[in-house]
Amino acid sequence: MRNAVGIYSKFIFPRLMDMVMAHPTFSHYRAELLADVQGKVLEIGFGSGLNIPHYPNDIHEITTVDINPGMNSLAEKRLKDYSIVVDHQVLNGEELPMANDSFDTVVCTWTLCSIQNVDQAMREIYRVLKSGGRFYFLEHGLSDEPNVQCWQNRLNPLQKIFADGCHLNRDIKKIIEKQNFRNLQIETFYMEDFPKTHSYSTKGMATK
């Protein structure tokens, strides 16, 4: 059974996820989020590299992390079409090897839902940001509607199995607010074209 789970996580899930996340609706929100990214960039949860086309033209190099090696193989194929240099590391966002105050920008899209110890990951994000650095985020999570929350809680056990550890019911706003960010800008909404249980989104920017 363990081998079957490993095969699904490494080979099947990355391809399914890449097909879903390449939907034009996701691309629209990626472009909005990344338009003002600048400086030395770290991306947490790089996945199959779908953010790459949406970075500003003056971003020539980024550092990325993702725990799933199957995602990395898809990302490498996609990167052949772009000139941006990616220093990719297959590791968990909970324990980053980077020094304190290393990056001007940290980017995280549809990733906080899946990190096991998400509070520790947020502490790491805050640690590696320079003073005045910005954290850009776009995540799905717990709705503000009780009836939607009810279904999110019911579906969450299945979601974690089929979506490789993804949670439907994490309160992303509260998770981010636990850190000592200043100038926290947050927008919440449902993404069009997807069920409310899976599309309640938290998008924004926070400054260290």
B/e letters for 71-110, b = 16+ CB within 10 Å, e = fewer, are bbebbeebbeeeeeebebeeebbbebeeeeebbbbbbbbb
CB-neighbour burial class of residue 6 (10 A; exposed 0-12, middle 13-18, buried 19+):
exposed
pTM of the model: 0.95
Domain that holds residue 50: 2-207
pLDDT in tens, 178-193: 999 999 999 999 999 9
Domain count, the chain: 1
Domain CATH number, residue 73:
3.40.50.150
| Longest Cα separation, the chain | 47
| Structural contact between residues 9 and 70, judged by C-beta atoms closer than 8 angstroms | yes
pLDDT tens per residue, range 116-141: 999 999 999 999 999 999 999 999 99
What's the token pair of residue 63? 């550092």
Going by the DSSP 8-state scheme, the letter that residue 111 receives in this structure is -
